[in-house]
Amino acid sequence: MKDFNAFTVDRKAAIRDAFNKQGLNKEKFVIVTDESNKVIGVVTDGDVRRAIWDSISLDARIDSITNRKFVFFNESYSIENIREIFSTTTIRHIPVLKKGCLVDIIFKSSYKENELMSHRKKIDIPVVIMAGGKGSRLDPFTRILPKPLIPIGEKPVIEIIIDKFMAFGVSCFYISVNHKAKMIKAFFEDFARDYKIVFIEEAMPLGTAGALGLIKDKIKSPVIVSNCDIIIEEDYSQIIDFHMKGKYLLTLVGSMQRHVVPYGVCKISNGGELRELTEKPEYDFLVNTGMYVISPQALDLIPQAKKFDATELIEAIKQSGKKVGVYPIDEKSWIDIGQWEEYKKAVDKLEGLG
């Protein structure tokens, strides 16, 4: 019997546990089972994302957000059945059941005819990569190499970032440069490529939003903005769809992070009386990853030739009465190489992804 432990969770499990398992199995979904190992439904990363948007606690049971009207096959199915579902719907996984129990899973990502019958939704918008910083968190390595050229395997991180976007049809990249700009530009001069690069020359560090101010007259559509020391493993087209449907001026990509305080935490009242002592409490946070989708209208809020960070742009948008969106991803979908303790983990993870 096949082992489906990486893709199944008990109906009593917390939403958080399912979200973590989705990140680990890299297929962005889990199958929910009952006490008898019967399948009761499926949960995708989109289901968890909607729960976060609806402020549902990640401690809630997974069966509270389980999709019970899911597509599945009984043991008898044909190639034509698979082809029709994968080519006409957004479904990426089909459970195969026998008497209600899971006996197989058909994955769109590994289906042999996948390349012939489906393709990723393309995003024909520019990407801006912020590569002008000094990378002080990686000192002394960045005294020699600029942060975007830090190697992971056989490629520098900036090339890995570009490859991820090219898989979705992106062909135009803006790269902001300041610190060791000549080295970054020299790398691309000697690098064969089939995409366009425009360098944003910062005479002084301008911050994420300030650098965008130098090209706002060239931007006619939403743009994706990414720091040069992060890699996001996500369907970028879904992030764009969320941004457009929500009519946001800016959408930030947030990662769910779980933090444990390694001590007992005291809550007091009445001038010092202990009200509650919680041993090693755990907290969930949705943190900013450093990737954004920004509409051209937001660029009008950026001052010219002045340092202006993304946080300042977000505040300016909110002050103007417009909306800022947050697109949650799981913890495993965010790779941050900006500090040494994370660098080795990132190398191992990316090399493991092939």
* Best CA proximity match to 317, nearest among 346, 337, 341, 293: 293
Go through the chain and tell me how many residues it has. Answer: 354
Q: Angle at Cα 169 formed by Cα 167 and Cα 171, nearest 5°?
A: 110
Prediction pTM value: 0.80
In sequence order, the β-bridge partners of residue 43 are: 30
Residue 173 contacts residue 140 (beta carbons within 8 Å): no
Determine the pLDDT at residue 191.
Answer: 73
CA distance linking residue 298 with residue 219, whole number of Å: 11
What is the mean pLDDT, run by run of 10 residues, along the chain of 354 residues? 86 93 88 96 94 93 96 83 85 92 88 48 91 73 79 86 92 92 89 86 89 92 94 92 96 92 91 91 91 97 92 97 96 79 66 54
Determine the pLDDT at residue 86.
Answer: 85
CA distance linking residue 330 with residue 51, whole number of Å: 13
Determine the pLDDT at residue 115.
Answer: 45
- C-alpha dist (Å) from residue 194 to 162, 163, 197: 11, 11, 10
- Give the SS3 label for residue 68: coil
> In the 8-state DSSP scheme, what is residue 75?
S
Determine the pLDDT at residue 353.
Answer: 52
Determine the pLDDT at residue 116.
Answer: 37
CA distance linking residue 259 with residue 57, whole number of Å: 15
CA distance linking residue 122 with residue 243, whole number of Å: 15
CA distance linking residue 267 with residue 190, whole number of Å: 60
Determine the pLDDT at residue 114.
Answer: 44
* Best CA proximity match to 31, nearest among 64, 48, 6, 1: 6
In CATH, what number does 5-117 get? 3.10.580.10
Determine the pLDDT at residue 349.
Answer: 63
Query: Looking at the domain 127-352, which fold is it?
Result: Spore Coat Polysaccharide Biosynthesis Protein SpsA; Chain A (3.90.550)
Domain boundaries, the chain: 5-117, 127-352
